[in-house]
Structure 1
């Protein structure tokens, strides 16, 4: 299933319709909610007509102050909204299959977080990669119940009415959720939650009640990733001879820098899509993304990294990147996988997209403009967008598209930005014959070259790619940079 942006016309139309028919209480209540539309299928009218209807599910996010009163104080408003939603949907070509009311997670973008999203994600990634059980010897619902009241949090499974029973079913009885499920579960919101809750979660993972061994490994992971936030875990007491850890603020030792050279704060989001559910497997995007991540980290970037995301995960990570980028001077977005243009707009294709025709692209994919808008809003001095996303994909072939419409379309780089394509507009790129795609393989080999401007860098990349492809693939850039930028300068 595929998420459609909340600002699609249906929410706007429904809100206006509720006001027009005099349902002001329902309108006021609905204006506080967020509605996400989840694409399910496209229905075609029997009898050869070209008329089509989009089958969708609707998820309505409700602020916490209202959520637990849905069946009491707001029961009548809920009924009105559900009835009128179906009517409005039909009028604009949708058919609503299910309506689900869920908690609306509020993120205060004005609240400064000491512990960044990058640091939090790095901690969770290390726990996952090292196959460490975050709950230790405690069963997961019992662990979480020490921090959250699971009896008051909703269930994702309609058979249960609270989070405790939901988690117990899927992690203890069935064991059919991934081990890292908790890090992205919206009920706990660990990437964005209050820092005291986040630190309480970490502290419980190294408490004797949940862990007898492996504590030193977790301590090393936590303190290494929290050092830039000025926080460390330390042994504050003992119980029955076993250490109890707390957290405290620490003063980091200032580094001595050459005042003539400004050290730029740099953040990158690197995404690789390889295992497409409906388009087969691409050999190299994950290798390409991993290689880019490694090189960028060597060059001083903080890197957010995402592999094989579905639509919702890709959108969420891009939005998190945009929020985090406001603290940085340089932003870089890299994508390896399938991309497509429709009506002059470029889209990145997540692994769960099922593009039956061009009309479904805007619902099932992520428009590149979503990334550009975040780069512009962050007001960073330099923004770089690198798209190795012009691979020849089976969706376009199945549509019987003209060859001139394949690949990506030309985009104008906003001020202070550079957009780099693995091949020229309207063309497709090679996925490569080795462990990396042709374009990214050359880029990562050149990117660490000392004292080369970014313009010179991409000229070198273009020359090498053209030579190796015998001029069949010609990388291309659009730039509005107003000053030189160096990946590696001394």
Structure 2
């Protein structure tokens, strides 16, 4: 807003006011959204904070009264033109300056952020329409249209993203008009800041996910997003450089107590033999033990053994900070619920699944009761349902259904919802093989880990198998932190 206000003051001939505001910062803090009763029109209610350098601050009321009046009046006018209403304006000492970041955000870091937004299908505009989102950062009326029918970028974007919806969701990251891969740091950070501002996004889980992505990637450049203030119960985030003396929660070494239950089913009595699950669970067990996990282990459990093993795991879980459940074998969904198939199951029809299998929610229930800080469920169990032919099931019911991950947890699937995965041709299944090869990587967050696994599996399966995660983790977790 500072740039827009400065340019406007110059355009209307208020040179003295323009000179003053050129050295100030202008922050708009979201308060609420107002709705007109007679229409669907929304107006954002904002508070304005103007940061003033020390050499001017003590003189504001004696030498700059005229300029203050002009600036406040024109700021109100500009806000109205942009669909906002300023509730109040405060003039404060300008202590820190976010616009003077010394570190550079590399193209590699920018691309990594954009890739994660795209891969996780996160809408960067949130609840705003994309042209309205961008108009808060760029003056779209003065940017060219790629469509010859329009004379500005606003109409161009509105046509192709709102009316026709014929551009890809990640179009903004490659559009040369906005040049987010190469633009100055301030513009990029304004763009990222707006994605987590209550104006565009109000769900806490979505905001936390974005902040985790941004801070993990930006930390290499010495930049982080932080909670700057709270307005009407909503967090407002700013960005700052991380000084060498700062210590974040991520860098504090905390000894976590970790436990895992690892289960593999290969020798099915009524569903044939699976080649790799036992190899998979042995490899996962060895990897987790080398990473400090206490591991409970079960090979080819029948229904009773599987239930007892899960319940014993739930009891032990209460003594630990991190819980992990891994299953390799057959799994199935029925009416939107996911089940693990033990080796003695004889599923003659869908009705018997409830009695002969174990619902995945049984594990989730134990994890929620234990109140562990981090819970991980990894399911390499989306192979073809061996009983499907007898059931006459439709293809749309294959694979697992999506489950919501409770707070502080992550659920990882070997393939995307409703799809099936290969048992693999080597010693390990395709998904678990890639997981094992990545899990010991040093200083890699769990989000980065599964992203690497996903890319590798997609490449090796030629996009036939796409691993999937559902997460509500509120902080980074590392299998191997040094």
Is the radius of gyration larger for structure 1 or structure 2? 2
Q: TM-score under structure 1 normalisation? A: 0.47
